[in-house]
Amino acid sequence: MNKNILRLVTLFVTLSLILSACGNQATPVPAAQQAVTPNEVVAEGRLEPIHGANLFFQVRGVVEEILVKEGDAVKQGDVLVRLANAGSAQAQVVIAQNAYDTLLRNESGDRAKLWKAYMDAQIVRGKAEKKWDDLNLDDIKDNIESRKATVEDRQKDVTDAQEEFDKYKNVDENNSSYKDAKDKLKNAQDDLNQAIRELETEIRKRDEVRATYDSTLAAEAEAKHQYEISLDGPNADQLTLAKANLEAAKDTLANYVITAPFDGVVADISVKVGDQVTVETRAVSVADSSQWIVKTTDVTELEVVKLSIGQKVNLVPDALPDLNLKGTVTEISNAYTQQGGDILYTVTVSVENPDSRLRWGMTLEATFAEIVK
């Protein structure tokens, strides 16, 4: 229902009750609450930091390292959470950055850095290669086949348990045979899930080492290439290529790490080390609460025309009714949303005297000062 209509209905009901009471009693009529003036606007709003962000990874992976905790102050660009294999991506960025910087400086002596990067890449590749060579692939293959066979057996157990359980699907749930069949089905499913996890673990013993080895081979090849092209001195084509390689490396690294998008405070950490994450998994929330704003949720088309930028606002949090805050209108949206029968506009108010008890998401009542014309 439209807020103004609701206020009029409430006022009408209140007056009706008062008049009814007057007809039945001789007691004095209590003073009615002050009615809302025609030009006054009262709205509900939600408290937000001036900057707030929920941060997500761009790829699936396993959380390897969390470098902050809730409440920590962070600077823009600080790494907050890192996925496994981020180290290889970081090495690519370092190599690409070194190559690009060398071309910009255009000094032959800087080729030594590219040579050093190439040598470092060889060392990293050598360690990864040794891990790969040390794997007993035959044993791993046999283990994988064994795990697969176990999965097939457990799948058959689930099928058999399901068939047995189906015999009792029309039996009362308190029947002992029904309960036994249900428990056997659950145990069979649990055993199947465990067998699948063990199979995946065995496969990762091979695939993770191979993926790391392949990554170091690519890094070494790139380092060698960058060193070789530096022998002829920098040119426009090389600069363009080096910059493109650097940007690509940074984009790849961005998939494996979450960095602070602005200066602020870690408001929430939603993951822990070892978690499997997807692109839909919120990892960290960061807020800059150096300035609070309030965004209204119910200003109608009849009310928004009474508001203007710079207008003063009184703010009272629902959770802190004795706290009176002052604010100023900083933005009035041109776009609208429709809710029920109302056309609504978002009005943004800057809080002038914040309180340490304020929290992100609190609801407030906003009373906009009447403009004298």
22 versus 155: the higher-pLDDT residue is: 155
Supply the pLDDT for residue 97: 87
Supply the pLDDT for residue 110: 63
pLDDT digit string, tens, across residues 159-189 = 999 999 998 888 888 888 888 999 999 999 9
Question: pTM of whole model > 0.75?
Answer: no
Say whether pLDDT at 50 is over 80: yes
242 versus 262: the higher-pLDDT residue is: 262
pLDDT digit string, tens, across residues 191-210 = 999 999 999 999 998 999 99
Supply the pLDDT for residue 109: 59
Interacting residues of 336 by C-beta distance below 8 A, sequence separation 6+ = 301, 343, 344, 345
Q: State what percent of residues in the chain have pLDDT above 70.
A: 86
C-alpha distances (whole Å) from 118 to each of 99, 228, 244 are 11, 10, 19
- Interatomic CA distance for residues 263 and 95, integer angstroms: 28
Supply the pLDDT for residue 12: 53
pLDDT digit string, tens, across residues 61-92 = 889 889 999 989 999 989 999 888 777 777 88
Supply the pLDDT for residue 68: 93
